[in-house]
Chains A and B, each alone.
Chain A
Amino acid sequence: KAGVTQTPRYLIKTRGQQVTLSCSPISGHRSVSWYQQTPGQGLQFLFEYFSETQRNKGNFPGRFSGRQFSNSRSEMNVSTLELGDSALYLCASSLGQGNYEQFFGPGTRLTVL
């Protein structure tokens, strides 16, 4: 079956702009988690959605938000972009919440100029 897909794969934005990233989970998976990965901070948890509800949120400012649709697809939005938001944004889907096997997508590489 198809894996987790993320669009777009690469994105270049300028400071102050906003961006929306999309994630399509594996069919049947109801949990979608988002992570930010940078060389300095490593892999950091952003938030998790399960059945259209945000279950958990990491320590990121309110500029980072997300949502999940009834088909489990998820989007994350970053408003008022800052240079420090440049990162690889990874989406992972799993059957359930918590420590189920997570399947990661290829990520979206965001560059903020």
Chain B
Amino acid sequence: LAKTTQPISMDSYEGQEVNITCSHNNIATNDYITWYQQFPSQGPRFIIQGYKTKVTNEVASLFIPADRKSSTLSLPRVSLSDTAVYYCLVGGYDTDKLIFGTGTRLQVFP
């Protein structure tokens, strides 16, 4: 199983861009990188998934370098409602036991 490492916490202000980096040195060839967001007392919510280079959707961008040993979730112009825990997962479509690490607690200030 690919182990992931993320910063425990980050602070930002409204309107700023936030970049959260995840390290996954032993990522396998068929592994994808997925990010989830979780608010208190709710289940995690899928944000974005990618394999290589850059993926963008309506809420975030995911940057993956060529060696795929890390990835960066980019949240443009965060608001107070983006205050949450963000998890990075690595695995393939046949992966056993997807592991949610400790996540990154993002606090957005006004």
Which residue numbers of A lie inside 8 Å of B, CB to CB? Answer: 4, 33, 35, 42-45, 48, 55-56, 58, 88, 90, 92, 96-107, 109
Is A58 touching B45 in the complex (CB atoms < 8 A)? no
Is B102 touching A42 in the complex (CB atoms < 8 A)? yes
Select which of B38, B90, B97 is within 8 A of A56 by beta carbon: B97
Closest partner residue, chain A, to B48 (CB atom):
A101
> How far does the alpha carbon of A11 sit from the alpha carbon of B94 in the complex, in Å?
34
Is A35 touching B100 in the complex (CB atoms < 8 A)? yes
Q: Is the interface of A mostly helix, strand, loop or mixed?
A: strand
Q: Say how far B66's CB is from chain A's closest CB, in angstroms.
A: 21
> How far does the alpha carbon of A100 sit from the alpha carbon of B36 in the complex, in Å?
12
A-B contact pairs, 11 of them (CB 8 A): A42-B103, A45-B99, A45-B100, A56-B97, A88-B41, A98-B94, A98-B95, A99-B49, A100-B93, A101-B34, A109-B41
Is B46 touching A101 in the complex (CB atoms < 8 A)? yes
Q: Is the interface of B mostly helix, strand, loop or mixed?
A: loop
In the assembled complex, which residues on chain B have CB atoms less than 8 Å from the CB atom of A48? 96-97
Select which of B42, B87, B89, B93 is within 8 A of A96 by beta carbon: B93
In the assembled complex, which residues on chain B have CB atoms less than 8 Å from the CB atom of A97? 93-95
Is A102 touching B46 in the complex (CB atoms < 8 A)? yes
Map CB proximity to A onto B44-64 as digits: 1 under 8 Å, 0 otherwise: 111001000000000000000
